[in-house]
Amino acid sequence: MAVGLPGAGRVCPGLLLGALFLTGCPSNGNGGPDWCADGPSVASISFPTTVLPGSRFEISGAAFDTSCGELTVFFRGSFEGRSVEAEALAEVVSTAEVRYDAGPELFGILGADPGRFVGELGVRRHDEGGSARESAVPVAFDAVVHLVPSAGSATPESVTLNAVVVVTGGGFLEGAEGTSEAVLDGTFRVDGGGTRPVTGVRLAAEPLEARDRTRAAFLFAPTIAGILPGAFTGTLALENRHGDGTVTASDPLPVTFTLGASFVTGVEPRDPTLGAIAEITGAGFIGGAADQTLTIRLDGTATPHGGSAAPVTGLELVPAFVDGGRAEYTIVPVRRGDVLVAEDFDFSWGTFAGTATPVLRYGAELAEGLPTSIDLRLGPTRQVVFVSFLAGFSDALREFGLRAVEAELRTRVLEKFRRVYDGINLEVRAEPPEDYYVGGYAVVEIGGPDPNGRGLFGYDNTPGKDVGNLRLHDRVGGANAEVQEDGYAGFGGVFVRSFLCWSSHRPDDLVCPDGVADPDFDRVFDPVRAREVVAGEYPSGPDAARAAAIEAAVSALGSLVGDTAAHEFGHSLGLANPYGPADVVHHEPPADGCLMDAGAYRPFAERAELPGVMPGGWCGEERGYLESILPVGP
């Protein structure tokens, strides 16, 4: 049930002064308003139509701020003809929401007998000095101490393991009220012969929707009668176990269920790559307990890309159980000689055509599901890269005068990174991937100051030149104790504050190489360093010249960071000179526009992609090498 009234009060900001918690909110000292002058404002309340101990009241509104005083909820009205009033501390979720789980404060005045409350429910703030301000809305509900459940039907009758069975009836419990259970008694007849007694099997029955006591669901679990197909005939009763330990039960309901075999319906996505987490869909899956396992047996033909088909017999995939209709299978990459392949298929790119059969084990019991046709394609290796912007990045932007446009800068960094690898099977992401496991994607950290204290623009601290990209999980960032080919072990990542080394008036504490100052840097960034960008100036501020200056700085810094990230990650992929000596990690001899040149040969204008200057790109054999290890594919 939800009731409400329009209107909302002003929110009082929380105030902390040293260790003193202020319960009153004074005016701002400049003639401004007293934000705590108004009391809390209740807009709407959600709660079940029948309330018992533990039932939750969710109250929405405004100005629910404990810095303006202690908050309580109150009930005021009549219960079965007598006046009642109760008050209890509120659980403050936010300035717009408070909660109250019905407890002794309420039922202490209602009593144990069932009845109907009619009145109002509100939020009260107790201000400093003893005064109180409140807001309430009218409510009405039936109140009982215990609920007796009832069962009217249970569907569907044809089920698979861990299928959802919906019970219609009434009196189901939720949350702190207690728990409801379905209790099965009867006989299970196994297909092919034999019967099994089912006695007092209890299954959690949870309401399908909050505050709806008419429908609940339980899972047709292996604990009922095992995992072999068959038919159950018997009764279903519902039991409520209340918070005080009292148990109430429904009359038994005659039921029948036919348990079918498990099966697979498909795999998503259709072309997962190394390191990806693919979702296997179907029905009748089990797992999530020590005595339950699920494997998927493949029988058919596997064909590596560009290779010959080979028979596959009894290849068992081991997915992670999600629910009765879903399991997650991780395509784990492993090294085979000088290539990376999928552990279960021995190739990184190819197809499988045949059948998939669920194989279930429950204790000592084994059951095979139905074989279904399936076509699976492993796509060409994709390098997924999560670009992690650290707190130091945000702090460093203040010294550039660009903190107010951080969101735009992050977008530009990612755009530049992606453009550098355009046409290569590399995917740059702004959030940690959920469809790849931690061993299947790389991380590049974008920070502020160089923690190595050397004024580095960036540093790849991954363990060695990874020719062939045999490590999909490299982390360009953090600390790495392994000594690199250059003899230096330290913190990796991109260090944005070091870019100020290009300025002729860099911060005094910044450690920089000699002779790197570039007048183009000051020309681009001085307008925003001298006058920090503020909200409303960009991208469509009233001063067109100012907006253009901000755009130039945003474009240049976004390119600088994205270019540096792409360069450092190029090392992680085995560049430069992938076919050369292990200790040669830059393009040689240096040339204009080569991304993988050593830093001394890469001027500011090229990295910043200033107008009229060719940006850094791939040189020599680099492009062909990248296309060979990360092909886009047909």
Rg of the chain taking only CA atoms, in angstroms? 33
- Write down all domains in the chain, each with its CATH number in brackets: 2-143 (2.60.40.10), 150-259 (2.60.40.10), 263-378 (2.60.40), 384-629 (no CATH)
pLDDT along the chain (634 residues), means of 10: 39 31 38 63 96 98 91 97 95 96 96 95 89 94 97 98 98 97 98 95 96 96 98 98 97 98 96 97 96 98 96 97 98 94 96 98 97 96 98 97 97 98 98 97 96 91 90 88 51 95 95 91 98 95 95 98 97 93 90 93 96 94 96 86
Burial group, residue 486, by CB count within 10 angstroms (0-12, 13-18, 19+): exposed
pLDDT score recorded for residue 601: 93
Residue type at position 146 = H
H or E element in which residue 222 lies: none
Q: How many CB atoms lie within 10 A of CB 434?
A: 7
DSSP 432-469: --SSB-GGGEEEEEEESS-TTSS--SEE--SSS--TT-
Contacts of 437 (CB under 8 A, 6+ apart): 275, 277, 330, 332
pLDDT score recorded for residue 22: 32
Scored b (16 or more CB within 10 A) or e, 259-271 reads: bbbbbbeebeeeb
pLDDT score recorded for residue 480: 58
pLDDT score recorded for residue 500: 97
pLDDT score recorded for residue 170: 96
Cis peptide before 539 (omega within 30 of 0): yes
Give CA separation, 113 vs 87, 147, 200, 278, in Å. Answer: 20, 12, 31, 55
pLDDT score recorded for residue 27: 40
Contacts of 404 (CB under 8 A, 6+ apart): 532, 533, 534, 535, 537, 538
H or E element in which residue 284 lies: none
- Give the span between the Cα atoms of 218 and 621, in whole angstroms: 61
SS3 (DSSP) at 396: helix
Neighbouring-strand partners of residue 301: 311, 353
SS3 (DSSP) at 306: coil
Scored b (16 or more CB within 10 A) or e, 17-32 reads: eeeeeebebeeeeeee
pTM of the model: 0.86
